[in-house]
Amino acid sequence: MKKLRWIIMLGMCMTSLSCLAYIYQIHVLRRWDKKHNYYQYVIGLSDFHDKSHAINKQHRYYLERRLLDYQRSTKVIVEDLSSTNNNGRRTCGRYTINSRGGVLGGLASVLKRSGVDVENIEYRYCRVVSLGPLINNIHARVDSFPSSNTLYIDALYREVMREIDSIRSYADGRVLNSRYKRTISGVMRALRRLRLDRYQKMSIAEYCIKCTKSSNRLDVLQRLCTFDSDLLDVKLVHSVIVAQNRRHVFAIAGGTHIKHACTLLKHAGYKMVFVSKLASQCEYDLSKCLGSH
């Protein structure tokens, strides 16, 4: 109970630092671990993906200190585009992302250097370096950015298919594996609707010219950024399932991912024991989560 009180106090302290909230909600779940004779706690911290607000520095400082204090019993799962992921990837071609200033940017690297058990489940590097400039400059010529000219749809396609192949190998039990299969089917349908399988040899710029108009370009680019978001939820859940030797698992990601992962974890026997009050609906709308932090 002492550990649970500390976890709840952590969440209440962080979410009360700002009514706008950048870590804006906390979920706490637990499941009895017969092998180790203790409850394993999963603490989901919902990030708003807004690196411009000053409150990020306070949240990041407080979070780093607490995770370092309890690192011996803790695993941390993050989505961090500014750090190498667990497969050793951080770049797309010759492009690297350095998106600092928010809670997530570079967190995996900092914690790993300090000896914390960290899993960075991010994988959408090509997506961000190729589509980010287009979204942020939606009225500019699509061929005016080096990344949109030199990166191809094939890079985006392979980025997704690599994760799908990995998820197909998960052995997380009948119930979860069935839900993973449904998730993959939904992502594959979305991939085909976006015609990524047909246009792999096109550059990002060529794809935009052929498949979008000025009136719908932003909508299409947003869908390209988020059509496979459910894969990240699955990766987060799998990282929890395979962390049975850790008493506390912190998952720090966008609020949409945390919410969906909590739902999946309930199907694996985890019980929700605490949810902080939600002061504002922040990142639950996927159209506001463009994959950049």
114-168 tens-digit pLDDT: 999 999 999 999 999 999 999 999 999 999 999 999 999 999 999 999 999 999 9
Instruction: Provide the H-helix boundaries in the chain.
Output: 2-15, 55-69, 107-113, 125-136, 146-150, 153-168, 174-193, 204-211, 217-226, 229-241, 255-266
Segment 105-122 mean pLDDT: 91
DSSP 190-220: HHHHTTTTT-TTSBHHHHHHHH--TTTHHHH
Helix (H, G, I), strand (E, B) or coil at 39: strand
Distance CA 198, CA 121 (A): 27
Residue 285 has pLDDT above 50, yes or no: no
pLDDT grade for 291, boundaries at 50, 70 and 90 = very low
Label each residue of 33-55 as H, E or C: ECCCCEEEEEEEEEECCCCCCCH
pLDDT score recorded for residue 144: 94
CB 7, CB 41: distance < 8 Å: yes
Distances in whole angstroms, Cα of residue 151 to Cα of each of 126, 144, 157, 206, 228? 8, 13, 11, 10, 19
C-beta neighbour count of 150 within 10 angstroms: 15
Element (H, E) at 92: strand 91-92
Residue 15 has pLDDT above 60, yes or no: no
More confident residue, 135 or 98: 135
| Positive or negative torsion for Cα 182, 187, 190, 195 | negative
Place of tokens 């952590």: 10
C-beta neighbour count of 284 within 10 angstroms: 16
Place of tokens 């506001």: 288
Q: Which of 28, 32, 57 is nearest to 43 (CA)?
A: 28
The amino acid occupying position 67 is L
CB 83, CB 58: distance < 8 Å: no
The amino acid occupying position 274 is F
Q: Phi and psi of 183, rounded to 5°?
A: -60, -45
Residue 87 has pLDDT above 90, yes or no: no
Helix (H, G, I), strand (E, B) or coil at 101: coil
**173, two tokens:** 């039990």
pLDDT tens for 204-254 read 999 999 999 999 999 999 999 999 999 999 999 999 999 989 999 999 999
